[in-house]
Amino acid sequence: MGQRLRSLLRALTARRDFESGMAEELQFHIEEYAQDLARSGMALEEARRRARMEFGGMNSVKSECREARWLHPFDELGRELRYTLRLLRKSPGFTVTALATLALCLGANLTIFAVIEAILLQPLPFPHPGRLVTIFNTYPKAGVERDGSSIANYYERRGRIPAFSSLSIYRFGTAIIGEPGSTERDQITAVSPDFFKTVGSGPALGRVFTDAETTYQTDNVAILSNEYWRSHFNADPHVLGKQIRVDSFPKTIVGVLPPGFRFLSSESQLYLPLSSRLEARASRERHSGGNVIQMIARLKTAATLAQAQSQIDAQNTALERYDPQAKMIADAGFRSLVVPLHADQVTTVRPVLLLLQGGVFVLLLIGAVNLVNLLLIRANGRVKEWAVRRALGAGRRHLVSEAIVETTLLAVAGGLLGLAVGAAGVRLVVALGADRLPLGTHIAFTPQLAVVGFAAAIALGIALAIPTVWFTLRLHPANALQSEARTATAGRAAQALRHSFSIAQIALGFVLLVGAGLLGVSLQRALAVSPGFQPDHVLTGQISLVGNSYPSAAAGVTFIERLVDELDRQPGVLSAGVAVNIPFSGRNGKSAATVEGRVLLPGESERGHYSYGVDGDYFRAMGYSLKAGRFLTGDDSRRAKRNCVVDEDFARYYWPHTSPLGQKLFQGSSAGPESEAFTVVGVVGSAKQAGLTDDTAQGAVYYPYRYRPDSNIFVVVRGGLQAETLRVALQRVVKRIDPELAVSDVRTMDDRITASLLTRRSPALLGGIFSGIALLLIAIGTYGVLSYAVAQRRREIGVRMALGARPEQIRAQFLSLAMRLLFGGTVLGVIGAWLTGRAMQAVLFHVSPHSAAIIVGSASIMAVVSIAACLLPAQRAARISPMQALAEQ
Amino acid sequence: MGKTAELLPGTLDMLILKAVSLKPLHGYGVLLRIRQISGDALDIPQGSLYPALYRLEHQGLIAAEWGQSENNRRAKYYTLTAAGRRRLREEAAGWKRLASAIASALNTTPEEV
């Protein structure tokens, strides 16, 4: 076999040599024979003639020789390719349409698939990633769906849950790294010592953290990411033991991670121990998660998720027995859920991505149907040619392979273009912000993806050939050769097929339009939601008050006072303030507050509220509306008065009938001594914290920063002009006050709101693009089918017009065909849209999944497009001159 | 030209292998040699010789090389390869077995039955 393939390969690669050698060899034979004949006395001319005659047909000998070399099928393929190329060149309109359709449909599918592959399909880059789970506390009845895990949870579970081989916690954050004067703010991850064991991949150099390194006194160690080690330490192999300053504290480098180590979407440069105070590890702190610390664990080989869940549940029950607040916790619906880590990461984007893939697949179907229709029309146009060739001895096999070669050739070329479109599409979705989706940093147009795309293109090419092949096989040469054969049964069946394809196409397009409409209206409704404050002209940034200079909240208050003071004096600044959390920051932690003198109603559970420590002129800077009383200002922090402000949701919930002003409340889930009570001095409008589409009235309390401090603060500046112009001033002021501090995450408020709509805006935009392409394809398809119907019945129309039919009647006839297609497609489409709406419910916002307006709107667009597409052919039909039409055949 | 016999199917390949086993030959030479060694009893249709040669070369039983003919023209010469030699031996043995079996069958007399 090997020998034969080598021989074939030789003949194929040096085809010209093979042919000339063969010709020379055969010529030599004839010449020698002729010489021999001449030697026996024959005249030379006569001898040559005789030699040629006895040798037989030169061409058939050559062809047999080629066949002996297995060159035959290649020759045939080559011939068919050349023939097909000639045909395609002769009809550039068809070729360009087909290639563009394939390129767009395949490219769009590849683009979305690249995103799905990176986010949903690719396993996490750790050994046995399927066994990684996350565990988080949930208090659904208190309005807190997700509260992370607490330090206490970690210490009580570690080593005590038999289903887990390892369990650990982590916290994402940022830190200022470097020596004073040349600091930079980088992402860091604080992890418990067993973190690397849990994920299954640890330092390539050095060691992991130890249990002794998890207190604030002993946590002066750090592990570098490989990238940081290369960029900042020149990949120094002796880096272990060297010092690095983190938040102005020196840390000893104890490890370097392997290249490519990336935990989820994090771009952490540094891993630090997750330290805690001993008190925080006690059981009474087990509900103080606040969604800052997350827990992960690795299931043992034999253990299941259900086992882990029941073990966690059992432990929770046992521990809650001694909790003084057990009843309240139980009333809040408390549970600790065990969820696969990968699924948990992508849970928010999964429905949207699957929806987009569905939409783009529908687009591919529309494109494919279009091509099948165009191919069938072409096939019908070549019926006579085929019939003649069949009559002259061409086999069915030949015609079938020709059809397959044609579609495969188109699909291969279209597929290659599609790869280019896909690569560009991936760049587009990344530009649209897909890389900011969870695990989105993995999105790339990989070679594997190109291979998959190309294979899909070839499969599509073969599938596209099926209807044409079916049509070819049904062909009766005798019928086809009769002059009126176009109305023969094969033609009628093909026509029915084309029309049903057209209907399917309209139905699919309708579904796509409705889907895009639902997404678009949802986006519009979301954009119309007021965030509860005035986001324009507001610049925000984060500052970490860490290091030796800020040992206490009081030091923070002093810094903030100076900061706000200096910012106020900057030209262009209207007001400035500080808060420990701002809306759309991505942090949605909630905590409890207890209203003085209020007892929980039966069945009512403790509620989680957003709680903010604010300082300076935060409310005015953010543009909150004042509903009653007054705002908190820097004065409240400075004078140490226990005042607070609540929002309307909070006020409505606790004091539906009385004025909230002068009421007292406590931080946390129990009332304290009178001296710790906060007096409500104002009510502000409710703001959206988690996102514009967050509909829950969670309630919020604003305390003076002094009483709810945090080392991480957001500074908020309102300017008279573009907020962006304040960026430099903000950075400069902070540097002037404390050169060791840096402002990070500097973004306008508008920017944050826009970013929060990422999972709505991009799908709506892509849905719009897909629908646009689908409409174009449908227009082309309808136009093609109608044009063909007109061309096919030219003669009939000519006869009727000669007999007195008016052009309007002819036009009406074709328009009514178009209307029938449109009607059939719309009826099917409404059914599809109904199902689609139901499937989309989860991603819709304030719009009914069966919105009549959207269905009617889509139907109108579809009607306009398909009627426009058939006006031209119908018009052409009406203009047919009977004389010409009848003279043609 | 004396009486010529029809070639049995499958025997052409064997004859070609035999012919080139004696000495490297060009196509026309193979034709003449078969005629000669069969005592002019076997005549091969000229057209069918070349597809057979190409097939045998394709199978690696013979190898081809360009060389000079007796009257100084460029010609393609075929030689037997090791695989071809093996094949020739097998086919010849098989042929002899078949021939003797058929001969003994034809020589059977009524008494022997």
Chain A residues whose beta carbon lies within 8 Å of the beta carbon of residue B58: 4, 7-8, 68-70
The model's confidence at residue A342, banded by pLDDT at 50, 70 and 90, is: very high
How far apart, in whole angstroms, are the C-alpha atoms of residue A498 and residue A787?
12
Report which residue type is found at A647. Answer: D
Do A833 and A507 contact (CB within 8 A), yes or no? Answer: no
pLDDT 10s digits, A377-390: 888 777 777 778 87
Q: How many domains does chain B have?
A: 1
* CA closest to A11 among chain B residues: B58
CB–CB contact B58 A68 (8 Å): yes
CA–CA separation, A160 vs A312, rounded Å?
9
| Contacts of A740 by beta carbon, 8 Å cutoff, 6+ apart | A176, A180, A183, A248, A547, A549
Instruction: Select the residue of A3, A24, A65 nearest B59 (Cβ to Cβ).
Output: A3
Contacts of B5 by beta carbon, 8 Å cutoff, 6+ apart: B41, B42
A613's enclosing H/E stretch is strand A608-616
Lowest mean pLDDT among A207-211, A712-716, A802-806: A802-806
Task: For residue B76, give the chain A residue with the closest CA.
Answer: A25
CA angle A329, A334, A338 (to 5 degrees): 150
Report helix, strand or coil for A70. Answer: coil
Residues on A contacting B at a C-beta cutoff of 8 Å = 3-4, 7-8, 21-22, 24-26, 28-29, 31-33, 35, 54-57, 60-61, 64-65, 67-70
Cα distances from A473 to residues A350, A370, A386, A398, A466, in angstroms, run 45, 21, 11, 11, 10
- The pLDDT of residue A485 is 46
Residue A565 or A437, more confident: A565
Tell me which of B50, B62, B72, B86 to substitute to probe the interface with A (most A C-beta atoms closer than 10 Å): B50
Given the DSSP bridges, would you call strands A249-256 and A712-719 parallel, antiparallel or unpaired? unpaired
DSSP 8-state class, residue A624: P
Domain that holds residue B79: 11-108
Least Cα separation, residue A20 to chain B (angstroms): 12
d(C-alpha A486, C-alpha A377), whole Å: 12
Looking at mean pLDDT, say which of A25-34, A57-66, A653-662 comes out highest: A653-662
Kindly indicate the confidence band of residue B1, based on its pLDDT and cuts at 50, 70 and 90: very low
In A, minimum Cα distance to B32 occurs at: A33
The overall average pLDDT reported for chain B is: 85
Out of A7, A35, A56, the one facing B58 most closely (by C-beta) is A7
Indicate the burial class of A383 (C-beta count within 10 angstroms; 0-12, 13-18, 19 or more).
Answer: buried
- Answer yes or no: is B6 within a domain: no
Q: B43-52: string of b/e by CB count within 10 Å (b at 16+)?
A: ebebbebbbb
Predicted confidence at residue A522, as pLDDT, reads: 92
Q: For residue B113, is it within any domain?
A: no
Query: Measured between CA atoms, how close is B57 to chain A, in angstroms?
Result: 8
Please give the Cα distance from A481 to A493 (Å, whole number).
18
Note whether B45 contacts A21, CB cutoff 8 Å. Answer: no
Chain A residues touching residue B72 (CB < 8 angstroms)? none
Query: What mean pLDDT is predicted for residues A201-229?
Result: 93
* Shortest distance, CA B51 to any CA of chain A (angstroms): 4
Do A28 and B73 count as a contact with CB atoms less than 8 A apart? yes
| CA neighbor of A650 nearest in space, from A706, A588, A607 | A607
Predicted local confidence at residue A479, as pLDDT: 65
- SS3 track for A815-837: HHHHHHHHHHHHHHHHHHHHHHH
> Running DSSP on this structure, what letter comes out for residue A193?
T
Count how many pairs of residues, chain A against chain B, have C-beta atoms within 8 Å.
68
All residues of chain A having their beta carbon less than 8 Å from the beta carbon of residue B27 are 25-26, 28-29
Largest CA distance in chain A: 139
Nearest beta carbon to residue B50 from set A3, A8, A65: A65
pLDDT exceeds 90 at position A415: yes
Closest chain B residue to A62, measured at CA: B51
- Give the mean pLDDT of chain A: 87
How far apart CA B81 and CA A576 sit, in angstroms, is: 95
Q: What is the mean pLDDT of residues A26-51?
A: 87
Cβ contacts of B75 on chain A, cutoff 8 Å = 25, 28
- Check residue A878 and give its pLDDT: 86
Asked if residue A503 has pLDDT above 70, the reply is yes
Contact at CB, B55 and A24, closer than 8 angstroms = no
> In which residue are the tokens 């030479």 written?
B29
Contact A61 B50 (CB under 8 A): yes
Q: Which of A184-198, A316-330, B16-30 has the lowest mean pLDDT?
A: A316-330
Chain centroid, CA A231 distance in Å: 31
Q: Which residue from B minimizes the CA distance to A63?
A: B51
Tally of CA atoms within 13 A in the half-sphere of A611 that contains its CB: 23
Contact B51 A65 (CB under 8 A): yes
Measure the CA–CA gap between B73 and B66, rounded to whole angstroms. 10
Q: Is residue A715 within 8 Å of A615, Cβ to Cβ? A: no
**C-beta separation of A299 from A311 below 8 A:** no
Instruction: Report the range of poorest mean pLDDT among A308-322, A665-679, A719-733.
Output: A719-733
Q: What average pLDDT does the segment B2-20 reach? A: 76
pLDDT value at position B74? 86
Alpha helices by DSSP H, listed for A151-257, are: 151-157, 195-199, 226-233
Count of CB atoms within 10 A of residue A753's CB? Answer: 19
B chain contacts of residue A7, beta-carbon cutoff 8 Å: 57-58, 60
CA-to-CA distance for A569 and A565, rounded, in angstroms?
7
CA nearest to A329, candidates A600, A551, A703: A600
Q: Quick one: pLDDT at residue A344?
A: 92
Q: Do B54 and A69 touch (CB under 8 A)?
A: yes
Predicted confidence band of residue A701 (pLDDT cuts 50, 70, 90): very high
Looking at chain A, the whole-number percentage of residues with pLDDT higher than 70 is 97
Among A248-252, A473-477, A647-651, A797-801, top mean pLDDT goes to A647-651
Tens digit of each residue's pLDDT (9 = 90 or more) over A129-148? 999 999 999 988 887 888 89
Is residue A758 classed as helix, strand or coil in its secondary structure?
Answer: helix
pLDDT digits (tens, 9 = 90+) for B78-99: 999 999 999 999 988 988 998 8
Cβ–Cβ below 8 Å for B69 and A69 = no
Query: Which pLDDT score, from 0 to 100, does residue B2 have?
Result: 45
A510: its two tokens: 């309708």
- Run of H or E including A471: helix A447-473
Chain B residues within an 8 Å CB radius of A14 = none
Give which of A3, A7, A20, A25 to mutate to test B binding, by max B Cβ within 10 Å: A25
For B75, name the nearest residue in chain A, comparing CA atoms only.
A25
- Specify the residue for token string 């080139």: B20
**How far apart (Å, rounded) are the C-alpha atoms in residues B31 and A616?**
110
- Which residues of B touch chain A, with CB atoms under 8 Å apart? 26-28, 31, 45-48, 50-52, 54-55, 57-60, 66, 69, 71, 73-76
Segments in A570-627 forming alpha helices (H): 618-622
Residue B7 pLDDT: 67
Strands A664-667 and A538-544: unpaired
Q: Which chain B residues are closer than 8 Å to A28 by Cβ?
A: 26-28, 69, 73-76
- Which residue in B48, B52, B76 is closest to A21 by CB distance? B76
Q: How far is CA A90 from the centre of its chain?
A: 41
Check: CB of residue B7 under 8 Å from CB of residue B44: yes
Give this complex's ipTM.
0.85
Amino acid in the structure at residue A572: G
| A24: nearest CB among B46, B48, B74 | B74
Asked if residue B1 is part of any domain, the answer here is no
Classify residue A349 by its DSSP letter. T
User: Is B4 contained in some domain?
Assistant: no
Record: contact B46-A69, CB cut-off 8 A: no
d(CA A411, CA A406): 9
Q: How far apart (Å, rounded) are the C-alpha atoms in residues A759 and A352?
A: 7
Closest CA to A764 of A825, A854, A826, A853: A854
Q: Name A820's Cβ contacts closer than 8 Å, sequence gap at least 6.
A: none
The pLDDT score that the predictor gives to residue A158 is 94
For residue A195, is pLDDT > 90? yes
Contacts of B45 in chain A (CB under 8 A): 56
**In this complex, which of A4, A26, A54 lies closest to B50 when CB atoms are compared?**
A26
CATH number at residue B41: 1.10.10.10
- pLDDT higher at A624 or A289: A624
Q: Of B43, B46, B73, which to mutate for an interface test with A (greatest number of A Cβ within 10 Å)?
A: B46
Burial of A531-551, coded b for 16+ CB within 10 Å and e otherwise, reads bbbbbebbbbbbbbbbbeebe
- For residue A639, the cross-strand partners are none
- The pLDDT value recorded for residue B6 is 64
CA distance A765 to B87: 71
Q: What are phi and psi of A347, to 5 degrees?
A: -60, -30
∠ CA A742-A743-A749, rounded to 5°:
175
Give tens-digit pLDDT for A232-242: 999 999 999 99
Give the lowest-confidence range in A232-246, A793-807, A855-869: A793-807
Quote the pLDDT of residue A418.
94
CA–CA gap between residue A275 and residue A665 (Å, rounded):
32
* DSSP H/E element including A714: strand A712-719
Over residues A52-88, the pLDDT tens digits come to 888 888 888 888 888 888 877 787 788 888 888 888 8
| Beta bridge partner(s), residue A645 | A682, A702
Q: CA–CA separation, A321 vs A330, rounded Å?
A: 11
| Average pLDDT, integer, range A860-883 | 87
Give the residue-averaged pLDDT of A669-677: 87
Residues from chain B contacting residue A33 (CB–CB below 8 Å): 28, 46
Alpha-carbon distance A55 to nearest alpha carbon in chain B (angstroms):
5
Are A33 and B76 inside 8 Å of each other by CB? no
What is the Cα–Cα distance from A281 to A293, expressed in whole angstroms?
A: 13
Give me the count of residues in chain B.
113
A131 vs B64: CA distance, rounded Å? 64
Query: Do the chains contact at B46 and A29, CB–CB below 8 Å?
Result: yes
Which of the four pLDDT bands, split at 50, 70 and 90, describes residue A800? confident
- Supply φ then ψ for residue B107, to 5 degrees: -85, -5
In angstroms, the CA A138 to CA A148 distance is 8
Closest among A315, A338, A1 to A155, alpha carbons compared: A315
DSSP letter (8 states) at residue B25: E
Shortest Cα distance from B1 to chain A (angstroms)? 14
Pairwise CB contact (< 8 Å): A4 & B58: yes
Strands A270-273 and A294-299: unpaired
Q: How far apart are CA A706 and CA A639, in angstroms?
A: 10
Q: What is the pLDDT of residues B31-81, one digit of tens each?
A: 888 888 888 787 778 878 888 888 888 888 999 888 888 878 888 899 999
Mutate to test the interface with B, among A61, A63, A71, A74 (most CBs of B within 10 A): A61
Q: Where are the domains of chain A?
A: 2-70, 145-331, 350-528+758-888, 546-740
Contact check, Cβ <8 Å, A33/B73 = no
Q: Which of B1, B26, B48, B58 to mutate to test the interface with A (most CBs of A within 10 A)?
A: B58
Neighbours of A360 (CB within 10 A): 25
Q: B4 falls in which pLDDT band (50, 70, 90)?
A: low
- Lowest-pLDDT choice from A178-182, A200-204, A529-533, A596-600: A178-182
Q: Cβ–Cβ of A61/B76 closer than 8 Å?
A: no
